[in-house]
Amino acid sequence: MSKIISGTEFSAKLRAEIKRKVSKLKQDHSIVPGLAVVLVGEDPASQIYVRNKGVQTKEAGMNSYEHKLADDTSEKDLLDLIDQINRDNSVHGILVQLPLPKHINEHAVINSIAVEKDVDGFHLSNVGLLATGSNEGIVPCTPLGSIMMLKDHLGDLSGKKAIVVGRSNIVGKPMAALLLKESCTVTIAHSRTKNLKEECRQADILVAAVGRPEMIKGDWIKPGATIIDVGINRIEKEEGGTKLVGDVEFSSANEVAEAMTPVPGGVGPMTIACLLHNALQQACRINNVDVPD
């Protein structure tokens, strides 16, 4: 049986640490980090994410600002709102909940966010900073949470063989860049990769970000490997109802891997904690003060 890398426990510790630092920042510098979340439309999953983000932002002692816009909001009105928030000194982080309605150009919206307030790390400048190995940019939350758990579990990652299955801009590519920055030898796999099972079997670290329920089986995994399962898939249960599963088949992988993240309770809870981490970091950077110890 592999060790469980609990994102629930790790994120609770991280959020407690952030809360303590936010309180110190307020005490020492009278700065309260502010996070603005913009939601366009009424997608039920997005509404839940936005509500959770608001609750956890306030619990960390930060100011939370929610902007809920109608589904038919024009791109211009959205860009005008972002421009207004960009100039608001009480806001240090801006997150536009994705996906946006089809008539809005996501790329234009993301790149209209002030680079230093782009707490999702999706702005082209932050993407470029990560790709060039800089520490000056903002790292996307899900890969950031994943690399934090890996480093906490394994310590030095240098020289390890890592595979990232999935090459999306929000998970796969930034994850691969972070592993490379830690001096791993990185393979990025995707839907056109040949002999995927064999590629996976060579990896000391396997990160699955595919969106296909339980695709990666135990016999795809190198004995002793560490698994980070980013996938969140809702499937029907035999006895009725639904449940969440990852991209890795937990029952068989658990027999082979040395350690793995569960779904739910793995990478998922780390994502919002890392959003708070990024908001605190940017509040400090914007005000030119160190993040409190």
Ligand X SMILES: NC(=O)c1ccc[n+]([C@@H]2O[C@H](COP(=O)([O-])OP(=O)(O)OC[C@H]3O[C@@H](n4cnc5c(N)ncnc54)[C@H](OP(=O)(O)O)[C@@H]3O)[C@@H](O)[C@H]2O)c1
Q: Annotated catalytic sites, by residue?
A: 53, 97, 120
For residue 247, the minimal CB distance to ligand X (Å) is 6
Question: Which residue do the tokens 């909001």 mark?
Answer: 73
Choose the stretch contacting ligand X; rule: CB under 6 A; options: 97-105, 116-124, 265-273, 274-282: 265-273
Contact call for residue 170 and ligand X (CB under 6 A): yes
Told to check if 171 binds ligand X by CB under 6 A, we report: yes
Residue closer to ligand X by CB (options 233, 287) is 233
Residue 267 Cβ vs ligand X, minimum distance, rounded to whole Å = 4
Task: Identify which of residues 73 and 93 has a Cβ nearer to ligand X in the complex.
Answer: 93
CB of 189 to ligand X, least distance (A): 6
Q: Please report how close the Cβ of residue 191 comes to ligand X at its closest, in angstroms.
A: 3
Contact (CB, 8 A) for 125 and 110 = no
**Smallest distance from the beta carbon of 57 to ligand X, in angstroms?**
16
Q: Which of residues 222-251 bind ligand X (CB under 6 A)?
A: 230-233
Binding flags for ligand X, 132-151, as an x/- string (CB under 6 A): ----------x---------
Dig out the tokens for 266 from the structure. Answer: 């793995």
**Measured at CB, which residue is nearest to ligand X?**
168
Q: What is the total count of residues that contact ligand X (CB under 6 A)? A: 25
Residue number with CB closer to ligand X (69 or 170) = 170
Partners of residue 161 on adjacent β-strands: 185
Which of the ranges 13-21, 31-39, 74-82, 205-213 carries the binding residues for ligand X, by CB under 6 A? 205-213
Distance CA 278, CA 280 (A): 5
Structure tokens given for 183: 């001096």
User: Which is closer to ligand X, CB of 129 or CB of 216?
Assistant: 216
- Which 172-201 positions form the footprint of ligand X (CB under 6 A)? 172, 189-193, 196
Q: How many CB atoms lie within 10 A of CB 45?
A: 10
Positions that interact with ligand X (CB under 6 A)? 142, 165-168, 170-172, 189-193, 196, 209-212, 230-233, 267-268, 271
